[in-house]
Amino acid sequence: MKISTKEEVCPPETTTGIARRSVLKSLALAAGAVGMGVPAAHAVGNTRSRRSPLAKDPVIADATKPIVETDLGKIRGYIRNGIFTFKGVPYGDDTGGSARFMPPKKAKPWTNLRSSMHYGSCCPQPDSHGWKHDEEAWMFAWDDGTPGEDCLCLNVWTPGINDNKKRPVMVWLHGGGYTAGSAQELKSYDGENLARRGDIVMVSINHRLNVFGHLDLSAYGPQYAESGNVGMLDIVLALEWVRDNIARFGGDPGCVTVFGQSGGGGKVCTLTCMPSAEGLFHRAIVQSGSLGHSRNPEDAARTTDAFLKQLNLDKSSIAKLNDIPWREIEAAAVIATMPTAPPTLINFRHIGNLLGWAPVLDGKVVTENAFGPKTPDRAKKIPLLVGTNLNEFVTAMDHPEYWQWTDADLQSHVQKVMPQQADAAIKAVKELYPDAKPFQQWSIIASSSVRGAAIDQAMSKAAAGGAPAYLYYFTWQPPILDGRPMAFHCAEMSFTFDNIQRCENMTGGGPEAQALADKVSGAWINFARTGDPNHPGLPKWPEFTAENKSTMVFDNTCVARNNLDDNLQKIVSEV
């Protein structure tokens, strides 16, 4: 979306439906936010060649190749368009029965050759409701996978195996809050194109979520001391698998980037507060994920008590939890975490408090608050790339009538949620985006606290010193559905993974989208390789400082802007 040119610009260097969606949608509607659709050493720019995901290259899959011997046993995958692919690889043991709510254990070794060609099970989770919304379902085309408690598995895409090369490793943590999602949920998560484009090794993982990953039972016996954070401990175990095995897949265990979107970004942040994760990754990318939270033990205990009440269990009968079918566990968890009423204007910095499940700040597994005013000590030496999308949760998917809004509609909706600041907020957004429709301007105001949380995180990182922080703002508007999805929550992922054609229902699949994907994926790859996202296809992207608040705006024309929306951010922060 075109931005007013009044703000200072850094000169370019070159010319070149899950339950959580329903919860977020209901929160936005309660707040008046209608229209919420949830939905270098090795430069990489526009120069690296890559095949289209639809190319007719042979798919190689037979009984003898490709094979990699991991520390647990041999696995066999397949080769597609030159990329070695392994899916559903176990890194942890079954988490059902007596292992439920316990820290993960390494998967048991196997002696026979294990076929690893299809995604493994995903953690049980609430039913998806996104399919009820036709346009949204057409765009996202979710793959809900097969639920089961034997879900500690991962996927690997790599340009080479057993070749003694040291490629950068990128480990993807999926979104869905801490409640839902999987490594296969969206087409954009496929790692083939990113691995090829950047000559990197791509890994994605499944782990425990919701009640299975974050039920704090510590008050019910010492055996449950870490139960509130076993979902995060699963991720640590997966990173240990990467450390021990990724060299056999052509990866460098000393150059690992963890990156995630939404809840996945929150998981990235939480890893920086975990002693057990220290040294397992070296760079961090947070995409629309600065809005997470860690729960204090008191809040977590209240949720636990509400959950156990649904099952008529107490301390004397707590062991029965191991025998209850997981579907009953999940149903009780949904009721126990019904959201409370949101504030007048949703402050997405604190939305995690309304969603129920999250890591617990227990002082042992998670020792610091990743989302507080201070950068965690362990994060100081880790380069950070962080940012958000322009419109996030507030879109016009499934609501073409919102495109007919007038300035009077805009005034009415802003007045409802921020009566004292309405005029100032509208004036600020019209100065920034004078050509935007009234509903688009409403969306920007209603979504501005998501960006505010990312700015806060970059600000604290810059203040901490050590490794740099880089801030981005994805503002590109897809041409599909008359442009009504706007720069929605999840929109950037097709670009970061270089999956424009694979995700054509989100992107339109056109040349403008591909040109931007070249720039975005190139930045992510260079950051993973060097800790710096700059590459020849982008204008100069300065490090974020408190003085410049430099933001790389990703759009048809990419540009670094200083102090882009300070006035609007100040106004909204006063609500």
- Residue-by-residue DSSP string for 476-526: ---SGGGGTT-SBTTTTHHHHTT-TTTTHHHH---HHHHHHHHHHHHHHHH
Burial of 137-156, coded b for 16+ CB within 10 Å and e otherwise, reads bebbebebbeebbebbbbbb
Of 138, 119, 268, 106, the residue nearest 191 (C-alpha): 119
Is 489 considered catalytic here? yes
Of 314, 107, 154, the residue nearest 249 (C-alpha): 154
Amino acid symbol at 272: T
Report yes or no: 420 and 158 within 8 Å, Cβ to Cβ: no
Structure tokens at 215: 């039920």
Amino acid symbol at 171: V
Query: Catalytic one among 392, 413, 449, 550?
Result: 392
Is 288 considered catalytic here? no
In degrees and rounded to multiples of 5, residue 128 shows phi and psi of -75, 140
> How far from each other are the two terminal CA atoms of the chain, in whole angstroms?
26
Of 279, 261, 282, 532, the residue nearest 385 (C-alpha): 532
Report yes or no: 329 and 321 within 8 Å, Cβ to Cβ: yes
Q: What is the CA radius of gyration of the chain?
A: 23
Q: What is d(CA 394, CA 371) in angstroms, rounded to the nearest whole number? A: 23
Q: Write out the E strands in 17-139.
A: 59-60, 67-69, 74-76, 78-80, 83-90, 114-115
Torsion sign over Cα 367, 93, 235, 21: negative
Query: Catalytic one among 174, 207, 489, 535?
Result: 489
CA distances to 17, 246, 264, 307, 402 from 26, rounded to whole Å, are: 13, 42, 21, 22, 17
Query: Catalytic one among 262, 443, 449, 494?
Result: 262
Q: 78-80 and 59-60: which strand pairing? A: antiparallel
**Could you tell me which residues come within 8 angstroms of residue 108 by beta carbon, excluding any fewer than 6 positions away?**
72, 93
Q: If you ran DSSP here, which 8-state letter would residue 295 be given?
A: B
- Catalytic residues, by residue number, are 262, 392, 489
